[in-house]
Amino acid sequence: MLTHAQIWNALDKLAARNKLTASGLAKKAGLDPTTFNKSKRITPEGRSRWPSTESVAKALAATDTKVETFVTLITEGVKPMIHSVPLIGLAEAGEGGFFDDAGFPLGKGWEDSAFPALTDEHAYALEISGDSMKPAFRDGDIIIVSPAAPVRKGDRVVVKTKDDEVLVKELKRKSLRTIELKSLNSEHRDRTIPMAEVQWVARIVWASQ
């Protein structure tokens, strides 16, 4: 996953390759001289800010730089980060004590497992058991679930009901009243569940297939 720092560092490298400062690169691209300044990389609220796609495109055009070259500047010197996430079997996930009401992992019984670094510090892993989700997921596959990730139509999600049922499905539609879920295995029926019966919904962001 790209980070704000990677993009801004790539712009700094692009400027240096052309013997320019960040301000000089912005001027050459026909932008406000402060566009790439460090002060513009943080919002007034203190959050990291992305450069606009238009400003990056103009900088590449002004320096006659290909997109492929810019991607190289983004990734060079970057080592994949690995950290541990809590892991539990999907079959156990429906039992009490492993999640809070918002779907964040808690309590004992989790194992530590190393996975590529994620932006959600509350992400966790589930191990698939059985073949009821073939061909999407098979027995022994590991999925990473991010409670903080936005959930959209077409995403594969984990849904926990207030009856402690845990489902792995594709999100078809979500409204204030119901959530419609598509089965990952055509032999199993789709589900429509009243939102009043849903405890939480979380997006699957990675799988070990």
Determine the pLDDT at residue 63.
95
- In CATH terms, the superfamily for domain 4-75 is lambda repressor-like DNA-binding domains (1.10.260.40)
- DSSP per-residue letters across 133-196: TTTTS-TT-EEEEETTS---TT-EEEEEETT--EEEEEEEEE-SSEEEEE-SSTTS--EEEEGG
Domain range summary for the chain, segments of one domain joined by +: 4-75, 82-207
Cα-only R_g, the chain:
22
Q: Which residues contact 52 (CB under 8 A, 6 or more apart)?
A: none
Fold of 82-207: Umud Fragment, subunit A (2.10.109)
- How far apart, in whole angstroms, are the C-alpha atoms of residue 138 and residue 175? 30
Q: Is the pTM of this model over 0.75?
A: no
Determine the pLDDT at residue 76.
74
Q: Report whether 14 contacts 7 (CB < 8 A).
A: no
Name residue 111's amino acid. Answer: E
Each residue's pLDDT, cut to its tens digit, for the chain (209 residues) gives 568 888 999 999 999 999 999 999 999 999 999 999 988 888 877 788 899 999 999 999 999 999 889 888 887 765 555 466 778 777 777 777 778 777 777 766 677 766 655 566 778 888 888 888 888 888 888 888 988 888 999 999 999 999 989 999 999 999 999 999 999 998 899 999 999 999 999 999 888 75
